[in-house]
């Protein structure tokens, strides 16, 4: 009876141990590919001079970056900001596209 | 009488061949072994026609609202990019391992092969329907069980612009904050 149990257990072990070992090797490729980090928008890469302010993509990017800036507003030292945003190069904003801004809704 | 016998014989033969194919295990279902050209064509034509017909009466809302790109972008990054890729990315585990291969939605329709998409509006409808209902026996899930139509339209709006986005634009639109 006892040897029967031991036999069964060792048979199970014989199957399970190689299975687990092998399957771990199969998953062990570049784990960085599977990691999802909650990244912040990298707003420093926005090139305003190339942006067309009638384009929903440009408006959406501005919105996201403005929200981000508002969140960290207290930390910002405005006196030290240089005036890199060149508004003269931006095409005129179209009122139609800005209507949906939540500030106009109340 | 002769005709009837022939019809009977042919139908028995048909059922017999079908049963033989099913029970012999001769069909290879491995995802790393592509379909033959004929089977591929049969499945693709069936799928495309089915989607176009099912979607033809869907009303497409205004998809130019910038807010849609923000909602759709975040959802796309977290739910779809692993299979459908993003600007600057050519492959992933899913894009290589799944069959049928998930189309690369970050390149424009004309450059992903084998697809006839018809006009723009119909493409939006089809995309909405596919995202909502998924596609049987492929990796494409039905997102409509867990997401309302508004969220799905936002993803439709986002993938409409996706092929034109640079990696930097994509990063900003899809980031959590």
Asked whether B129 and B51 are in contact (CB, 8 A), the reply is yes
Query: Most A CBs within 10 Å: which of B94, B162, B175, B176, as the mutation test of the A interface?
Result: B175
C-alpha–C-alpha distance, residues B153 and B147, integer Å: 10
Taking an 8 Å cut-off on Cβ atoms, the answer to whether B65 and A67 are in contact is no
pLDDT reading at A6 higher than 50: yes
Percent of the residues in chain B that have a pLDDT greater than 90, as a whole number: 90
Asked if pLDDT for residue B6 goes beyond 50, the answer is yes
Question: Residues B63-76: pLDDT tens digits?
Answer: 999 999 999 999 99
Contact check, Cβ <8 Å, A63/B64: no
- Give pLDDT, residue B159: 96
Kindly report the average pLDDT of chain A as a whole number.
71
| A68, A46 contact by CB (below 8 A) | no
Contact at CB, A41 and B171, closer than 8 angstroms: yes
d(CA A60, CA A43): 12
Give the tens place of pLDDT for each residue, A25-41.
555 566 665 666 677 88
pLDDT confidence band for A74 (50 / 70 / 90): low
| pLDDT tens digits, B116-128 | 555 889 999 999 9
Question: What are the domain boundaries of chain B?
Answer: 1-30, 41-174
Q: At residue A77, does pLDDT exceed 70?
A: no
From CA A44, how far away is CA A69, in angstroms rounded?
11
Contact assessment for residue B108 and residue B29, using Cβ atoms and an 8 Å cutoff: no
Tell me: domain B41-174, CATH 2.60.40, correct? no
CA distance linking residue A34 with residue A27, whole number of Å: 11
Closest CB to A41 among B93, B165, B175:
B175
Give the residue among B158, B87, B173, B171 at the shortest CA–CA distance from A61.
B173
Evaluate whether B61 touches B160 at the Cβ level (below 8 Å). no
Q: Which pair of structure tokens corresponds to residue A6?
A: 């031991």
Taking only the tens place, the pLDDT of each residue in A39-73 is: 788 988 787 777 888 999 999 999 999 988 888 76
Question: What per-residue confidence (pLDDT) applies to A1?
Answer: 58
As a whole number of angstroms, the distance between CA B153 and CA B125 comes to 9
Q: How confident is the model at residue B100 (pLDDT cuts 50, 70, 90)?
A: very high
């Amino acid at each position: 009876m006892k040897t029967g149990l031991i036999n069964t257990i060792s048979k199970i072990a014989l199957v399970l141990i190689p299975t687990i070992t092998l399957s771990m090797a199969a998953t062990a490729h570049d784990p960085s590919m599977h990691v999802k980090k909650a990244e912040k928008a990298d707003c420093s890469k926005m090139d305003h001079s190339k942006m067309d302010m009638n384009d929903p993509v440009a408006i959406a990017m501005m919105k996201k970056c403005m929200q981000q800036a508002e969140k960290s507003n207290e930390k910002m030292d405005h006196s030290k900001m240089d005036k890199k945003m060149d508004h003269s190069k931006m095409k005129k904003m179209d009122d139609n596209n800005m209507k949906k801004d939540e500030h106009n809704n109340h | 009488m002769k005709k009837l016998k022939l019809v009977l014989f042919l139908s028995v033969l048909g059922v017999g061949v079908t049963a033989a194919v099913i029970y012999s295990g001769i069909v290879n279902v491995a995802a790393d072994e592509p379909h033959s050209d004929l089977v591929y064509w049969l499945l693709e034509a069936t799928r495309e026609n089915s989607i176009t017909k099912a979607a033809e009466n869907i009303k497409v809302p205004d998809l130019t609202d910038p807010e849609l790109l923000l909602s759709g972008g975040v959802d796309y990054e977290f739910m779809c990019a692993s299979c459908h890729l993003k600007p600057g990315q050519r492959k992933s585990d899913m894009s290589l391992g799944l069959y049928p291969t998930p189309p690369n939605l970050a390149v424009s329709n004309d450059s992903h092969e084998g697809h006839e998409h018809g006009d723009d509006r119909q493409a939006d409808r089809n995309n909405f329907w596919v995202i909502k209902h998924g596609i049987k026996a492929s990796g494409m899930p039905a997102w409509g069980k867990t997401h309302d139509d508004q969220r799905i339209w936002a993803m439709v709006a986002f993938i409409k612009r996706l092929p034109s986005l640079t990696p930097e634009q994509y990063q900003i639109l899809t980031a959590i904050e």
